[in-house]
Every structure is written in C-alpha cells, then in structure tokens.
C-alpha cells in the first residue's frame, strides 16, 4: 500500500463539521443566536473548513493571520497559507456583537444556517486595507505597477471586485459547521471530502497523486496534461470546482459530463479519479495556484499540475507566473507548516499538425502556424458565438455535450479574449 502525503499543517485533517447528536444540539442552539449573512465565497470557505479541505484552519482568520498571509504567505503561527480566508460583516452588525459572543452564519440564498462561530476578534477593513489585500494577492506580472493594476482591476478583475465589495468589518474565530449546503445532493458521486478521496487513493495503492484543477470543460490540452501526470505518478485526481464562477463560464454539471465522456473513452479508468470541491474561483492566478496545492495536499495529492496561466483572468498574470511562484515561497522548518504538495510544471501545450499529435514548447520545433492553440476561453467563445471549432481542439464527445448546452441558452454572455487565450 502506498503512503499518501500528510495533510497540510501537521495536525491531520482538522474537520469542523458536526455530526449526529452534537450536530442536532448545535442546530438547536444556533436558532437562538444572532444571524450574520455570509457571501457565496464565505460559504465555500466555511464548507472547506468543515470537511478538512482547509486544514489546518479551524475558523476565519485574525488580523495578524490576514496581514501575515498577504505579506509573507504565513499565518501568525508560521504556517504557510497563500490567500486570506476571512469573514466580513457590516458596521451595524459588528457594533451589536461583542468579542467572545457566539453567532450563527446564515446563507440567505438557501435560507439555511451553515455554522456557528465564536467571535474572538473584530477588525475593520478600510478601503486602504482592501486595496492592500488586492495588491498583495491579486497583482501579478501582467500589471507590474499598482497604477497599471488599478486602471483595470476594479472593473475587470472578479477577485478584486469581490474583495472591494466586502463589508466593513472582519470577524475572526473558530467555527462549528452544520451543513455542506447543496453539494452532497446536487453533486452526489462527484462532491468528495478529503477523508473520502484519501480512502479512494489508499484503496488503489497510490502514494504519488497529481491533481488537475478544472474550471473549464476538459479540452485536449487538459487531457494531455493528465496523461503526462499518469506517466510519472500513480494516478491523477481530476478535481473540478463546483462552486460559483464568473458570467460566461460553463456550469459544473456540464463540465462533469464532459470529464465523464473523456475518462470513459480516452483514459485507463483505474488511473484516474474524478472529484469536485465547493469553492468559488478567486481568479488570483499564482496565489490561487498555491492555494490549489495547499488544499489538494489535504485531499491526498502530492503534486499539483500547473500549466499555462493557471487560475488567471484577463492579462493580469504572467503566462507561467503560477509556476515560478512556487520557487519563491517561504519554507517553514517546523514540521507540517511548509507546503508539501509540489508543482508538476508543464509548458504550453497544443496540437501540432507537423508532429501529428499533442506537444509542448519543450518538445515541438515547429511554428505557430502549425499549431492549434488550446484555451478554455477560446473554446467558450467559439461555442457561444456558433463559430467552427478547429480540428483537434476537443474530443467530439465533449464538443457534442457543449454544443447541446449552448443551444439551450436563452441569453448569451460576451466572452472576452486575452493574450493567454489567443497565444499573442
């Protein structure tokens, strides 16, 4: 039997999701607590804390954690963490709640109390604080100065908009999670907890597992990345985001069908497992690549496939900035506190007519005119506008599923192109 990588943080899986009699008692208590509404992003973060996906986190970050993560990729106790995990509240709600008080975290969309939380700290987030977070977390090589960044970020970067629209005060403190929302039912068989994925990997005898992050339908480049990983690892975990995306992105149930079709027809099935996780995309490029590696370590993955423009949006990031950032992060020496999930760095991949197959910039000597440049953005744009998809861009089984989805849309969303998508 293989031995999987240990969960991040050195404390095992820190799961805050209650069950059984403890859950029922906490639900009853929650009904009498002051309710604070949470955003979709906060809901996803909360569920990940509940199921151990964000181990070693057991709640929302303090100001010292927030500042340390933004500046140095480290929480206050010196554990590597790349992106703040915070909970915001209005000034009015903050004024009515004392430090040490317990509150209920309420999802207004589903009319459900998701968790209880003991508020151990309240700290204001001024506009300057929010801008500080955005510049540290979301500003990349594509916009090397703050002036260039803010010219476009406030209107064109969904992650920046999310931060700037947060409420005025952050609450910190431990949580007791009462629900996983709609995910166990809506994505039954796909939505998997870290303890469950680890069990599946162990049952197959895997120890070296590579994760493929997906938010787009799986095209030929994704397929190729997976097959490279299968050659050098025991197996691949195709791990799709099933939380919220930006307008124009393809919903999770459609993407899952596409993956099913690919795995069934083009993979040795025992070498691949598909799963889904409940986060919203932050579109934080390099930082999000690090977050993807940190929580994939909790799911049992020792490698994170990082290709071109990982988790990017627009032209905010350098093409391979999400690869090089792994070489720049701190490496705490205290056991468990360093990131153990290493990047599997793969160059720009494409179909080459002269090579007569999939290739990369490291393996193909031919020119751009011989290549089909593969991009989820360009695929969505072509399908949305009804244009012809180039040969070898995607498998026919996948394209049939996507065409059926786009044919059923009553409202089209404009898909913006960018350098990473077009190859320019």
Please give the span between the terminal C-alpha atoms of the chain, in angstroms, as a whole number.
46
From the list 41, 193, 198, 215, the catalytic residue is 215
CA 192 to chain centroid, in Å, comes to 14
**251 CA to centre of own chain:** 15
User: Does 271 participate in catalysis according to the annotation?
Assistant: no
User: What count of residues does the chain have?
Assistant: 424
216: annotated active-site residue: yes
DSSP assignment of 59-87:
EEPPHHHHHHHHHHSB-TTS-B--S---E
CA-closest candidate to residue 340, choices 55, 111, 51: 55
String of b and e for 73-87 (b: at least 16 CB within 10 Å)?
A: bbbeeebbbbbbbbb
Rounded to whole angstroms, the Cα distance separating 424 from 415 reads 17
Angle at 355 between CA 352 and CA 359, to 5 degrees: 60
Q: Pick the catalytic residue: 41, 193, 198, 216? A: 216
Q: Which residue has the tokens 């999802």?
A: 107
Residue 380 vs residues 169, 202, 254: alpha-carbon distances, Å: 38, 36, 13
107 burial (CB, 10 Å; 0-12 / 13-18 / 19+) is: buried
Question: Which two structure tokens, joined as six digits, stand for 234?
Answer: 């025991």
What is the set of active-site residues? 215-216
């Amino acid at each position: 039997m293989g031995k999987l990588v240990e969960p991040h943080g050195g404390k095992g899986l820190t799961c805050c999701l209650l069950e059984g009699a403890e859950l029922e008692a906490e639900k009853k208590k929650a009904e009498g607590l002051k309710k604070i509404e949470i955003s979709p992003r906060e809901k996803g973060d909360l569920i990940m804390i509940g199921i151990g996906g964000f181990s070693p986190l057991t709640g929302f970050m303090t100001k010292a954690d927030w500042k340390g993560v933004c500046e140095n990729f480290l929480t206050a106790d010196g554990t590597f963490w790349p992106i703040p995990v915070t909970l915001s509240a209005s000034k009015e709600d903050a004024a009515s709640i004392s430090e040490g008080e317990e509150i209920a975290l309420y999802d207004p969309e589903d009319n459900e109390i998701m968790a209880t939380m003991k508020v151990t700290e309240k700290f204001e987030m001024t506009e300057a604080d929010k801008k500080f977070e955005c510049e540290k977390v979301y500003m990349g090589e594509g916009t090397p100065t703050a002036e260039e960044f803010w010219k476009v970020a406030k209107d064109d970067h969904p992650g920046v908009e999310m931060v700037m629209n947060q409420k005025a005060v952050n609450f910190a403190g431990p949580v007791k999670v009462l629900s996983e929302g709609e995910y166990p039912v809506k994505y039954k068989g796909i939505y998997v907890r870290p303890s469950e994925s680890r069990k599946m990997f162990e049952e197959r005898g895997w120890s070296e597992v590579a994760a493929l992050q997906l938010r787009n339908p799986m095209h030929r480049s994704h397929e190729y990345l997976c097959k490279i990983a299968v050659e050098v690892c025991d197996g691949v975990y195709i791990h799709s985001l099933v939380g919220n995306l930006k307008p124009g992105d393809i919903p999770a149930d459609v993407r899952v069908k596409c993956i099913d079709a690919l795995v069934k027809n083009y993979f040795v099935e025992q070498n691949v497992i598909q799963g889904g996780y409940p986060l919203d995309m932050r579109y934080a490029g390099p930082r999000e690549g690090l977050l993807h590696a940190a929580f994939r370590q909790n799911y049992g993955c020792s490698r994170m496939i990082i290709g071109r423009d990982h988790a990017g949006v627009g032209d905010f990031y350098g093409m391979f900035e999400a690869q090089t950032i792994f070489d720049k992060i701190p490496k705490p020496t205290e056991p468990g506190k360093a990131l153990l999930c290493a990047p599997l760095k793969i160059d720009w991949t494409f179909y080459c007519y002269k090579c007569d197959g999939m290739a990369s910039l490291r393996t193909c000597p031919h020119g751009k005119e011989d290549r089909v440049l593969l991009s989820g953005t360009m695929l969505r744009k072509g399908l949305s506008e009804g244009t012809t998809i180039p040969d070898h861009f995607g498998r026919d089984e996948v394209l049939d599923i996507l065409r059926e989805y786009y044919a059923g849309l009553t409202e089209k969303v404009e898909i913006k192109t960018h350098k990473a998508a077009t190859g320019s």
